[in-house]
Copies of this chain bind each other. A is one copy, B any other.
Amino acid sequence: MRLIVPLRGVIQGRGGLFVGSLIPCCLFYFLQLYLKRRRPPPSDPTDLPRTFSRTNLFSRGNSIGRVRVSSRAVPVAKPSDSPYYIGLERVKTDPYDRITNTDGIIQLGLAESTLCFDLLQRWMSENLMESMMQSDDGEFDISSIAMYKPFEGLLELRVAFADFMSRIMGGNVSFDPSNMVITAGGTPAIEVLAFCLADHGNAFLIPTPYYPGFDRDIKFRTGVELIPVHCRSSDNFTVTVSALEQALNQARKRGSKVSGILFSNPSNPVGNILSRETLCDILRFAQEKNIHVISDEIFAGSVYGDKEFVSMAEIAGSGEFDKTRVHIIYGLSKDLSIPGFRAGVIYSFHEDVVNAAKKLMRFSSVPVLVQRILISLLSDVRFIEGYMAAHRQRIRDKHIRFVEGLKQLGIPCAESGGGLYCWVDMSSLLTSYSEKGELELFEKLLTVAKINATPGTACYCIEPGWFRCCFTALADEDIPVIMERIRQLAESFRS
């Protein structure tokens, strides 16, 4: 009742009646506004299948109207409108094969590598069976692979992963297996980190252009927003502290709570490698703002240029910074070219994140059989050293060949030193220098040249005309075919 006193004072004064009528109305208005803003957005009426609305209309008594899925599942169930996924789907309908379907669509949209399949094939042929055997007498023991094991991964595997990661990152950084959680690929790793570091409605800053899959990885279920931090070709698309600062301030003005910065290093799709200075700047910025840093280092071993790769784990461990805000994503889909094995890692310096991620691995754990194989594979130092050297050399060779082909067509690429792709400036082929022009070129590439390359729009790049082209699943003889198709397309524009 104490609340009444001041208000009664106001009302009993001069203009009491007016104020007394205005206050409730204002309050009521703001209540309505608040309620309206908190209500989940109504699902698009076009989502409603015709049959559904009909059934509902005519059902009476015991309703047998078609039951609805949750409103959050509706956008997930719908086909994606991102050119990245549209391109991938289109390839499936007519995939190029250099013998059986020479007119098919050539896939440059998927970052996978077949460059060292000969080495993997040999290792697997020789070791697959043995790596699954656990007992001392070399007999296969079913209980070692069939039963429940800790969801976060066997200790032996975490030890092997730690050693492997340190090795491919040049040996300057060591990883503690107790900070590590094994995940079913890099994809659940990023989702689990988003869940652990940000609440529904919070946001991560993310430098653009960025890997288009992050939208699904993060937005499908965690409700975390991604706020683009626009980078430009003049800086070779490297993020700067001033751009981070500006994006953070704008986000805060809009009322967004920013929980962290997410980025790929080597960058995906550009392929550039962040310098030690840039990493320090980012971490210092994050520390000042008291937010998290998520470094996706899934291409760390796919570095082929002269520039040294530095893990954010190394910067975090330097003693200069509070490392508990640093979280690393890693996996074997790129560097070991085995995405079909679904093996990834969350590496975090924050105890709560490690503990929560371990528990959440009940949803994304790696089969024990696969863990056994990976333990053998990652622990085979002789193989790993040979493989990594070949992997890097072969990416470098293919990169030179691919970039040279484009160069002869007058098409330049961004400077890059890592990743299974290059970032191609096709702005000279645009009919209009705009997103629309870029999407028209994407469509032309897909339907006329029959090439699926990911347009910059899908990666939130603000400069039109850039495309990500993945080249590590191509044979050498595919490259002239691609260049000829692009040449003909370019020609058709001129005529």
Query: Is there contact, CB below 8 Å, between B322 and A67?
Result: yes
A306 within 8 A of B: no
A156 within 8 A of B: no
How many Å from the CB of A32 to the closest CB on chain B? 9
A364 within 8 A of B: yes
Chain A 1-33 interface residues, beta-carbon cutoff 8 Å to B: 3-4, 7-8, 11-12, 16-17, 19-25, 27-31
A125 within 8 A of B: yes
Query: Is there contact, CB below 8 Å, between A322 and B17?
Result: no
A145 within 8 A of B: yes
Q: A196-B69, A340-B148, A341-B369 are in contact. Are A352 and B291 (CB under 8 A)?
A: no
Query: Is there contact, CB below 8 Å, between B12 and A28?
Result: no
A141 within 8 A of B: yes
Query: Is there contact, CB below 8 Å, between A197 and B339?
Result: no
Measured as residues with beta carbon below 8 angstroms from the partner, the interface class of chain A is: 35 or more
Using CB atoms, name the residue of chain B closest to A142: B121
Q: A64-B322, A67-B324, A340-B148 are in contact. Are A117 and B143 (CB under 8 A)?
A: yes
- A sample of 23 inter-chain contacts (CB < 8 A) reads A7-B28, A11-B21, A24-B27, A67-B292, A67-B325, A67-B350, A69-B352, A70-B196, A70-B259, A72-B199, A72-B200, A73-B352, A76-B356, A77-B352, A112-B147, A117-B146, A128-B140, A129-B129, A184-B363, A188-B363, A217-B362, A340-B368, A366-B367
Q: Give 20 new A-B contacts, CB below 8 A, not counting A27-B28, A67-B350, A120-B142.
A: A3-B25, A11-B20, A20-B21, A27-B27, A30-B31, A34-B35, A38-B38, A62-B288, A66-B324, A67-B324, A70-B259, A74-B352, A77-B196, A121-B140, A121-B141, A147-B340, A185-B365, A191-B363, A342-B365, A370-B370
